[in-house]
Chain A
Amino acid sequence: DAGVIQSPRHEVTEMGQEVTLRCKPISGHDYLFWYRQTMMRGLELLIYFNNNVPIDDSGMPEDRFSAKMPNASFSTLKIQPSEPRDSAVYFCASSLYTSGAGDTQYFGPGTRLTVL
């Protein structure tokens, strides 16, 4: 089975530009998560979806960030306009709901974003 797929793997852009990160979850998974990892703040959950519906976006830093999941196999995280402090590794993860606490999240390889 293919794992979580993210693109691009690396993105370098200039301040003020729009950035779009893409994610394809594992087929059949009904939860999708977007995380950001920085040295200062560690791993932070930005937003997550259940069956394509955003459930909790309380981690989204500000209005410059938006995320969509138009269908079960695709999600985007957009930053507009980008700022240098957005430089980080962005991970997408997916999981399959079970009735217990053991829903394992499987992570994509991440997108390393650098905003100059």
Chain B
Amino acid sequence: AQKITQTQPGMFVQEKEAVTLDCTYDTSDPSYGLFWYKQPSSGEMIFLIYQGSYDQQNATEGRYSLNFQKARKSANLVISASQLGDSAMYFCAMRELMIKAAGNKLTFGGGTRVLVKP
């Protein structure tokens, strides 16, 4: 079974509007972390935001926020006031802390491509 699922292969968003990128995960580990990365066309992987499984509040970093619904095992990324520079691939990833076999690995989803229209 996929550990990280991103169901939206691609989406368009109008400049200045908000966009939500879906991410669902599968783990039996009670302690885990969820990460979002951005990969623009230039290719680098840029860390955006982190949510811990025990965090009571949703993480926020500037225009990025994470809609964390633990019972649903979802960690959706919300980008507010989209800018042209937000056009990129976005990856959701998970790190499991207690499962020994997981080690210190990050498991990535397949990504969602976002294109911001002017």
Chain A interface (Cβ < 8 Å from any Cβ of B): 31, 33, 42-43, 45, 48, 50, 55-56, 89, 91, 93, 95, 97, 100-110, 112
- Of A43, A50, A103, which contacts B91 at CB under 8 A? A43
Which residue from A48, A55, A91 sits with its C-beta under 8 Å from B45? A91
A contact patch SS: strand
CB distance from B42 to the nearest CB of A (A): 8
CA distance A81 to B61 in the complex (A): 44
How many chain B residues touch A (CB < 8 A): the figure is: 24
A93 CA to B95 CA in the complex, in Å?
14
A109 CA to B40 CA, complexed, in Å: 11
A104-B35 in contact given A89-B43, A110-B43, A112-B43 (Cβ < 8 Å):
yes
Q: Are A42 and B52 interface neighbours, CB within 8 A?
A: no
Interchain CB contact under 8 A, A102 and B45: no
User: CB-CB < 8 A to B46: which residues of A?
Assistant: 107
Residues of B within 8 A of A108 (CB): 44
Chain B residue with minimal CB distance to A109?
A: B44
Is the CB–CB distance between B44 and A110 below 8 Å? yes
Query: Are A45 and B111 in contact, CB atoms less than 8 angstroms apart?
Result: no
Q: Which of B18-26, B66-74, B76-84, B97-105 contacts A (4 or more CB under 8 A)?
A: B97-105
